[in-house]
Amino acid sequence: MKATFLFLSGVGFQEILLIGLFILVFFGAKKIPEFMKGLGKGVREFKDSVKDVKKDIEDSAKLDDGK
CB 47 within 8 A of CB 55: no
Confidence of residue 67 (pLDDT cuts 50, 70, 90): low
Query: Higher pLDDT residue, 24 or 54?
Result: 54
Q: How much is the pLDDT for 46?
A: 94
Cα dist from 25 to 14, 18, 19, 35, whole Å: 16, 11, 10, 13
Cα→Cα distances 16→6, 31, 41, 57, 59, Å: 15, 19, 22, 38, 42
pLDDT single digits (tens) 4-50:
555 556 778 888 889 888 888 888 888 888 888 998 999 999 999 99
pLDDT value, residue 1: 46
